[in-house]
Each structure stands twice: as C-alpha cells, then as structure tokens.
Amino acid sequence: MLTSLGLIFLIGLSMASICQKIKLPRIIGMIVSGVLIGPYVLNFLDPSILGISSQLRQMALIIILIKAGLSLDIKDLKKVGRPAVLMSFLPAVFEIIACILFAPMLLGVSLIEAAIIGAVLSAVSPAVVVPRMVNLMETRYGTNKSIPQLILAGASLDDVFVIVLFSTFVSMAQGGSVSAMNFANIPISIILGIALGAFVGWLLGMFFETSHAHNFTIRNSTKVIIILGVAFLLIAIESWLEGIISVSGLLAVMSMACVLQIKSTDFVSKRLSEKFGKLWIAAEVILFVLVGAAVDIRYTMGAGIAAIGLIFAALIFRSAGVLLCMIGTPLNFKERLFCVIAYLPKATVQAAIGAVPLLLGLSCGNIVLSVAVLSIIITAPLGAFGIDISYKKLLKKCD
C-alpha cells in the first residue's frame, strides 16, 4: 500500500506540474496518472489501495467541502436562493430528458435504460467545481453577484438529486416497485442533511467557545482533527440510517462547516480554512488519481461515436437548463456563460456509480459504464480547462 501511495503522490504531482507548465489544468495530469498506473493499463496499484479507493475519494471530497463551508458567506448564499435551488435539479433533469430522447436511437437501449444512463451522466462533479469556486471566492471573482456561491450551492445539492433518481431507475430496471416515497427522499435527504449538519456545527462551535472561556485552549490543528472526525461520523450516519430515512452526509458536512464559520471569529474561521486548504493539496492528488484509476478505458472502445454524440447532446440540454435557471437574475451574458461552463465537468459520481448497473447484471451495464467513462475523459478536463481560462474574462473582480 505504501508503494502505491508513493506512486500516487509522486506521479500525480509530476503529471500535474507538467500540465500546469503547458497551461492545462492540473486535474488532467492527475486523472491521466491514475489511468496509466491503474489496474486497466500498467496495474501498478496494490489491490489493497483499490479496495479502499471509494473511501479515500470520499475523504478527499469531505476535506474540500469543509473548506467550502468555512469559506461560504451565508449572507451571500441568501442572495442566490431561487437560482441555487433551480441549479440543484433543473440542469440534471434536462440532461436526463436528452438521454431519454436520444439514447434509444443512438445506443439501441430501452427508455428505462436511457433514464439510467441519463442519471449517471447528469451529476456535476463537486470535486472539480467546488475547489475552483472556493478559489474564486478567495480571489473575489464574481462575488459581487455571488456567482461562485450560486454554483457551489447548486453543485452540492445536485448530486443528492441525481443519486436518488439513479437508485429509483435501477430499481425499475430490475422489476422493483417505485413509490412516491422514492421521490420524496430527495427533499427529505437535503433538508435532514442540512439540519443535522447545522446542529452539529452549532454544538462544535459551542464546545470550542466554552473551552476558550474556561482557559482550555484548543489549538487550530487539533480543531481540524476534531472537525474531520465529526465529518467522518456525519458521513457514517448516512449509511447507518440507510433503509430507514434518507440523510445526505455530504450536505451535512458542508452545513456543519458553514455554521461553525458563523460561530467562530473571522480570524479562527480563516485559520481553519487555510489549514483545510493545505490538507486539500494532498487530498486532491489522491482524489483525482484514484478517479483516473477507476476509469476502465477498455469500455471506451466499444462505446464509439454514438456515445460521444449522446454526451455532447446531453451537455447542450444541460446548458439550456442552466440558462433557464438564470432567468430573472441580474447576471449579464458573460456571467451566465460562465455558469454554463462551470456546470460541465463530471468525474466523482460517474466513477462511483458508473459500474453499478454492470455489477447488478443489467443488460445495459456495459454501455452505461462506457458512457460514464467517456463522460469523465471528455468533460472533466473540458470543464476544468473552461473554468480556468474563462473566469478572468467573464467575471468581474471585486475590490
């Protein structure tokens, strides 16, 4: 395992640096590194590291969501309430509709199989989007109209919506019954996740305040470990309650960090945000190299031009959904265009659920995995590159 971790860090960082030198996003180098050293090409990674790959990717995602929560200004978030809610489901709905319309014709699948493909495709990648929006908030690009906050909130909620729909469509494909409760789980999961995280964040803030009041000073480094431990438990609660009630663990983590920021002084929240930013340097490499390692490029060969055509048709529909969310907002054309670009990348959710239909023995399993793999290869670099080269041109920097 130690050899595998060494390869992940050294090769991942080296490839990221090469991409940075030639003006490409670092993420491309990391994903390519994962593909090369992963089990489907050179097979340099130990099976033990691959066995816990999903947990490691989740840990990395938790770190960046905590940093996002500590950087998010609730007052700014209130300004973008309606568009943020629409962004959490409307672009995904448009993308699923595109797959239902075009996938049967292009890939020869049934309508329910097309819906499964749409659900896999339609999740935006928080791993690509969130760190970039946090960077924009810190450098104050687009913050005059709360654009990074809008995209950050929408992208965080989007995954909950998509994963519940995916589970429902898979159940239908297996011949299972679908009730209204399946769809009711979407708002329940979101509301309970935010409420649970807010309550835990308030308790943590009170604990840190009480400790300070009683001259029992807790170092910021220790606070980071405590916050991480609590965040891991919040994620665990989601699995503990599975089958009983739906709770979004990732939303709970970000909600906890938001409330903790409110309860802390500006200096403390800034210091904690900086420390999580340093943790993200290592977590980012692990996340994207392992996402690359999960990409089975054998399936891309069988997918062909039809799958690529479907992905781009779905992206056009998604973009229309994003623009529809912007109606009635004060954003100008350039700012709306940036929102469209920021909602393109896919990676983490596709890597996590792309192989599920195949593992369940569904007839569409191979094609779903093929489309998921292609979507990562095409849209993760496209979205990351698009955000990185466009934000200075499309967004206004605030003083």
* Residues 311, 66: Cα–Cα separation, whole Å: 31
pLDDT at position 77: 64
Q: Which helix (H) or strand (E) holds 27?
A: helix 26-37
pLDDT at position 320: 96
Which tokens go with 9?
A: 């860090």
Model confidence at 126: pLDDT above 70 = yes
Model confidence at 294: pLDDT above 90 = no
Q: What is the mean pLDDT of residues 188-206?
A: 91
* Residues 250, 62: Cα–Cα separation, whole Å: 7
pLDDT at position 234: 93
Model confidence at 98: pLDDT above 80 = yes
pLDDT at position 245: 84
Q: What is the mean pLDDT of residues 326-335?
A: 92
pLDDT at position 181: 66
| 271 CB-contact burial (10 Å; exposed 0-12 / middle 13-18 / buried 19+) | middle
Q: Is the Cβ–Cβ distance between 257 and 200 less than 8 Å?
A: no
What's the gap between Cα 218 and its chain centre?
A: 31
Model confidence at 182: pLDDT above 80 = no
Model confidence at 137: pLDDT above 70 = yes
- Going by pLDDT thresholds of 50, 70 and 90, the confidence category of residue 366 is confident
- Show Cβ contacts of residue 191 under 8 Å, excluding neighbours closer than 6 positions: none
Q: What is the mean pLDDT of residues 315-332?
A: 94
Q: pLDDT for 149-177, tens place per residue?
A: 889 888 878 888 888 888 888 888 887 66
Model confidence at 303: pLDDT above 80 = no
The mean pLDDT of the chain is 87
Model confidence at 265: pLDDT above 80 = no
pLDDT at position 163: 83
Q: pLDDT for 239-260, tens place per residue?
A: 898 878 888 888 899 889 989 8
Q: What percent of the chain has pLDDT over 70?
A: 94
Model confidence at 384: pLDDT above 70 = yes
pLDDT at position 24: 76
Model confidence at 178: pLDDT above 70 = no
Model confidence at 317: pLDDT above 70 = yes
pLDDT at position 171: 82
- Going by pLDDT thresholds of 50, 70 and 90, the confidence category of residue 76 is low
* Residues 150, 141: Cα–Cα separation, whole Å: 13
- Show Cβ contacts of residue 333 under 8 Å, excluding neighbours closer than 6 positions: none
